[in-house]
């Protein structure tokens, strides 16, 4: 269990360079299972989640080599098609190997992906889509076994625009016979990045980034080189930290288009945000305004930024209302913020925040984004904050503390 201690930052000033997106890299690494030749994936930071996915590829028999932020994946003769709990329970996104393995090897057994702190996170939409393509699913002893003689293209309507289900079904459909149409698909930028990677391997995918994606199955897929898009959530996290600390911070290596909802809500709260070609500059105002926000599928406000904004809004005088529509249990950070003096009332998926000055306290990270939110709270709270269970944070943020300290924070690890 790792711990950090931090004190209030007078301000944050300077520049932070954003890494490749964890949530684009994970499906793209899973997609390398489809390749007949080596793949080289660039801009992938050495995060715990990424290393866990690499372990899963190695368990299948593939060779994975890292050089700085570049991963080289070489297909090798298959070693395993059974993926045990010890391998998959550390990473929810491990279920993204199902689509590629089903497409290429027609069979796999994977330990049931557990839920996590933010919700049950079922995979029913993934499984329904696999069945629509001709797969047979059986569940026993905590494993899901998926197999097929042949995958055949079909029309699939997703009851919810699930990011993971969209990604898994695109990958499964790449080698199916005929055309697959996914309707009510997720349109997150990470989906488009995955489709671009697959098309560079020889797949025939159109419509990624819209709610209707068409995939014409092909015989096989070659290798490819790909650079992962910048991480919009990492970028947003630093932007909110700068705003909360009345800072002046430039976040570089971003795609401004992907940051639209974050920029809009920061501006609505009184922050000046200047968009440059591939960077944004946040100049905090003297007077902040409380705002309302509701998480929605892209291009709505991202659920992965809800905790960080809740921390920021907790310190803004006035009433802000936060509604979480994506996950059923993504308010655990609010209990920790209350320990820091935040005045928050929750009713179901809605939190009413009466902004007040926070004070440092001992708090606990419960998941990746909640952990980042508590760091933001500690940066604008009076006194010292101690955050335990920080291992969650380093799953998704590379050099997070080092970057914040370079901007003027004072964060000390106590491992």
Q: Which of residues 131-160 bind ligand EPZ (CB under 6 A)?
A: 160
Binding of ligand EPZ at residue 376 (CB under 6 A)? no
The answer to whether 151 touches 133, Cβ cutoff 8 Å, is yes
Residue 116 annotated among the catalytic residues of the structure: yes
The answer to whether 100 touches 34, Cβ cutoff 8 Å, is yes
Among 52, 69, 148, 162, interactor with ligand EPZ by CB under 6 A: 162
Residue among 299 and 317 whose Cβ is closer to ligand EPZ: 299
Residue among 10 and 124 whose Cβ is closer to ligand EPZ: 124
d(CA 212, CA 194): 15
Binding of ligand EPZ at residue 178 (CB under 6 A)? no
Residue among 9 and 93 whose Cβ is closer to ligand EPZ: 93
Binding of ligand EPZ at residue 368 (CB under 6 A)? yes
Name beta bridge partners: 364: 388
**Coil, helix or strand for 333?**
helix
Give min distance, CB of 101 to ligand EPZ, in A.
17
Which is catalytic among the residues 15, 54, 116, 256? 116
Residue nearest to ligand EPZ (CB): 164
Among 75, 99, 153, 164, interactor with ligand EPZ by CB under 6 A: 164
Name beta bridge partners: 137: 146
Structure tokens, 126: 């993934």
DSSP string, 110-122: EEPPP-BTTB---
**Coil, helix or strand for 312?**
helix
Q: Which of residues 384-403 bind ligand EPZ (CB under 6 A)?
A: 396
d(CA 311, CA 404): 16
The answer to whether 190 touches 228, Cβ cutoff 8 Å, is no
Among 109, 234, 304, 324, interactor with ligand EPZ by CB under 6 A: 304
**Coil, helix or strand for 42?**
strand
Give min distance, CB of 357 to ligand EPZ, in A.
28
d(CA 279, CA 87): 37
Binding of ligand EPZ at residue 121 (CB under 6 A)? yes
Q: Footprint of ligand EPZ on this chain (CB under 6 A)?
A: 23, 26, 93, 119, 121-126, 160, 162-165, 303-304, 326-327, 368-369, 396
| Catalytically annotated residues | 116
């Amino acid at each position: 269990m790792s711990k950090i201690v931090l004190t209030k930052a007078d301000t944050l000033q300077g520049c932070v360079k954003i890494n490749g997106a964890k949530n684009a890299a994970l499906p793209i690494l899973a997609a390398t299972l489809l390749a007949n030749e080596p793949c080289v994936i660039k801009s992938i930071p050495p995060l715990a989640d990424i290393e866990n996915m690499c372990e899963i590829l190695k368990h299948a028999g593939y060779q994975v080599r890292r050089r700085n932020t570049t991963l080289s994946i070489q297909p090798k003769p298959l070693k395993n098609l059974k993926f045990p709990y010890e391998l998959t329970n550390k990473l929810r996104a491990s279920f993204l190997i199902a689509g590629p393995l089903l497409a290429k090897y027609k069979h796999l057994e994977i330990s049931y992906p557990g839920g996590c702190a933010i919700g049950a996170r079922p995979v029913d939409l993934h499984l329904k889509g696999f069945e629509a393509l001709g797969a047979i699913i059986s569940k026993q002893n905590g494993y899901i076994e998926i197999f097929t003689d042949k995958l055949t293209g079909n029309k699939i309507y997703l009851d919810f625009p699930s990011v993971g289900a969209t990604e898994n079904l695109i990958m499964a459909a790449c080698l199916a016979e005929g055309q697959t149409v996914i309707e009510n698909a997720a349109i997150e930028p990470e989906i488009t990045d995955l489709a671009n990677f697959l098309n560079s391997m020889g797949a025939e995918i159109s419509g990624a980034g819209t709610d209707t994606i068409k995939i014409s199955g092909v015989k096989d897929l070659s290798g490819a080189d790909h650079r992962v898009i910048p991480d919009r959530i990492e970028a947003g996290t630093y932007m909110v930290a700068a705003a909360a600390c009345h800072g002046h911070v430039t976040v570089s290596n971003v795609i401004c288009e992907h940051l639209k909802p974050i920029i809009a809500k920061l501006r609505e709260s009184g922050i000046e945000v200047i968009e440059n070609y591939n960077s944004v500059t946040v100049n905090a105002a003297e007077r902040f305004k409380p705002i309302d926000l509701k998480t929605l599928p892209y291009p709505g406000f991202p659920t992965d930024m809800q905790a960080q904004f809740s921390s920021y809004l907790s310190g803004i005088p006035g009433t802000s209302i936060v509604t979480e529509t994506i996950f059923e249990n993504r308010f655990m950070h609010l209990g920790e913020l209350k320990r820091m003096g935040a005045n928050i009332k929750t009713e179901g998926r809605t939190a009413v925040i009466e902004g007040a000055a926070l004070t440092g306290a001992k708090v606990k990270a419960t998941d990746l984004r909640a952990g980042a939110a508590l760091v933001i709270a500690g940066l604008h709270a009076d006194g010292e904050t101690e955050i335990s269970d920080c291992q969650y944070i380093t799953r998704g943020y590379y050099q997070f503390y080092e970057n914040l300290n370079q901007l003027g924070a004072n964060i000390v690890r106590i491992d």
